[in-house]
Amino acid sequence: MTTTAIPDPLRRRARTHGDDVALEFEGDVLTFAELDRRATACDQLLRQRGLGSGDAVATLLHNRPELVAIAHGGPRGGRRFAPLGARLTAPEVAAMLKTCAAKVVFCEAATRDVVVEATRGLAMDCIDVDEIATANEIAAESEDRDFDLHDTHTIVFTSGTSGAPKGVRLTWGNHLYSAMASALNLGLDAGDRWLCCLPLNHVGGLSILMRSVLYGNAVELHRRFAPGDANAAIRARRTTIVSVVANMLQRMLDDDERPYPECLRAVLVGGGPVPAMLLERCRAAGVPVLHTYGLTETASQVATARPGRDDAGVGPPLLFADIRIDNGGDDAGVGIAGDIEVRGPTVSPGYVGEPDHPASGWLRTRDRGWLDERGCLHVLGRADETIVCGGENVHPAEIERVLESHPAVAEAFAAGVPDQDWGAVIHAAVRLTGEVSPAELETHCRAHLAGFKVPRRLLPVDDFPRTAAGKIARREARELLYTASNRDVR
């Protein structure tokens, strides 16, 4: 039996590459040694609070260095790091904290009120991130600890099929194999500098941090995405790799049309479909764009186009990932569409509070696609009704449940309507039983849903198209929303 423990890579980097830049944030530069000290301070703070192996550490923070320190120090000693989106509402946060059974949640000034409200009645410590700095002063060097590859390291929330967000358990092994597979595709260079302007509660942002401590490369972290800031990072501070969703890249190109410097070697575009026009525009402008397909459940990339190869679709599966197209129980042949399934060591063992996936089993992705004769994957879209809006996954059930919780709403239906900028935007139709203004319904939504989930349009209907059994005929209802949105345009 080979050991499955790996030395803590940040601690190791701090020792062997202590003076190298680990993180740059708003002009402040942290070396690996300094980042390790902060992670150690966080670890000690959590130990003082009595958190041990298996306990979850949640955060409700915008991107900031303290969040990076918690991402590395939080999971030490077998704890689990559970970053939540800083834009979520108190009811959303409360549901997630309960799901992952968090013992503590870190907040900041901007999120304190939401956390206080969300944790009301819950036995949960709410810690201001500034306390890490205080702990820092008293922190002695803690002993080295290993990460076991099979231990859950992170819990990342994603939209579930029922509309209740699910906590994806990612092991240190999942992160490690994901980082390795990415490097085997993109190459590794000591001078690499990865721009992270995705939120760190998303696997796309989080995986940049994991790669950084494994590769030893610098990360420039942005509090939030702004096209001008991203362009400045690339032009002035020699970014070599950046991860974005299509809408972000579009806005970056709109912001500044000048060619990027040569040092930019990969622009990974994922989190949903990429318009062919955008890919064309990138190619024409010499932007080294690489379309990628990934999932929270696979700790990021599954398939990624290869540098310099002009791959079709999202490229071939990365080295450790097996992809199968399921066509009604059979393995679909080349060129035949079906449900995308994934297998390999980057696949999460399961969701918090649910039984593990079978280790040798295939993960059903809820995406449809096909493989071409060169082995490249083409993604057609979601197999279910999940709406992909600017890289965020939202399930209609979540919106519908909130709308139907309003006393004046008898029934609700939500769907994504195609949108040039965001891929899709959320529209909803409501059958009302009482008097309610659109503004009042919107306020109700805003109290329960993060801003990006609030329907852009609310269409009152007298009734819905129905199935023989009397349920909403969802395909026809979606058509109804599409038609209404087209009418607006004309």
Interface contacts to its own copies, rule CB under 8 A: 1-7, 9, 12, 15-16, 146, 149-150, 171, 173-174, 180, 183-184, 187-190, 214-216, 306-308, 316-317, 319-322, 343-345, 347, 349, 356, 359-360, 374-375
Residue among 11 and 166 whose Cβ is closer to its own copies:
11
DSSP string, 431-484: EESS---HHHHHHHHHHHS-GGGS-SEEEE-S---B-TTSSB-HHHHHHHHHHH
| CA–CA dist 402, 454 (Å, integer) | 10
Residue among 7 and 438 whose Cβ is closer to its own copies:
7
Residue among 4 and 327 whose Cβ is closer to its own copies:
4
Instruction: Give least dist CB 211 to its own copies, A.
Output: 11
| CA–CA dist 132, 317 (Å, integer) | 40
Instruction: Give least dist CB 490 to its own copies, A.
Output: 46
Instruction: Give least dist CB 268 to its own copies, A.
Output: 17
Instruction: Give least dist CB 350 to its own copies, A.
Output: 9
Residue for token pair 């059930």: 397
Q: In terms of residues, how long is the chain?
A: 490
Instruction: Give least dist CB 71 to its own copies, A.
Output: 18
Instruction: Give least dist CB 324 to its own copies, A.
Output: 11
Residue among 148 and 411 whose Cβ is closer to its own copies:
148
User: Is there a contact between 332 and 338 (Cβ–Cβ < 8 Å)?
Assistant: yes
Residues 94, 196, 387, 294, Cα dihedral to 10°? -110
Instruction: Give least dist CB 169 to its own copies, A.
Output: 10
What is the sign, positive or negative, of the torsion defined by CA atoms of 211, 214, 218, 221?
positive
Give the count of beta carbons closer than 10 Å to the beta carbon of residue 260.
21
Instruction: Give least dist CB 358 to its own copies, A.
Output: 8
Instruction: Give least dist CB 408 to its own copies, A.
Output: 48
Instruction: Give least dist CB 38 to its own copies, A.
Output: 20
Amino acid identity at 8: D
Residue among 335 and 460 whose Cβ is closer to its own copies:
335
Instruction: Give least dist CB 6 to its own copies, A.
Output: 6
Residue among 93 and 347 whose Cβ is closer to its own copies:
347
Amino acid identity at 378: H
Amino acid identity at 153: H
Residue among 314 and 441 whose Cβ is closer to its own copies:
314
Residue among 184 and 410 whose Cβ is closer to its own copies:
184
| CA–CA dist 383, 464 (Å, integer) | 23
| CA–CA dist 457, 439 (Å, integer) | 11
Task: List strand residue ranges (DSSP E) for 271-352, in order.
Answer: 289-295, 300-304, 322-327, 330-331, 338-343, 350-351
Q: How far is CA 439 from CA 375, 407, 456, in A?
A: 50, 15, 12
Residue among 113 and 356 whose Cβ is closer to its own copies:
356
Amino acid identity at 277: M
Residue among 9 and 160 whose Cβ is closer to its own copies:
9
User: Is there a contact between 454 and 445 (Cβ–Cβ < 8 Å)?
Assistant: yes
Cα angle 168, 150, 125 (rounded to 5 degrees) comes to 55
Residue among 358 and 434 whose Cβ is closer to its own copies:
358
Give every CB contact of residue 384 below 8 A, 6+ residues apart in sequence. Answer: 161, 366, 395
Residue among 343 and 395 whose Cβ is closer to its own copies:
343
| CA–CA dist 207, 301 (Å, integer) | 9
Instruction: Give least dist CB 232 to its own copies, A.
Output: 27
Amino acid identity at 473: A
Largest CA-CA distance found in the chain, in angstroms, rounded: 69
Residues 38, 39, 45, 49, Cα dihedral to 10°? 160
Give the count of beta carbons closer than 10 Å to the beta carbon of residue 150.
12
DSSP state of 383: S
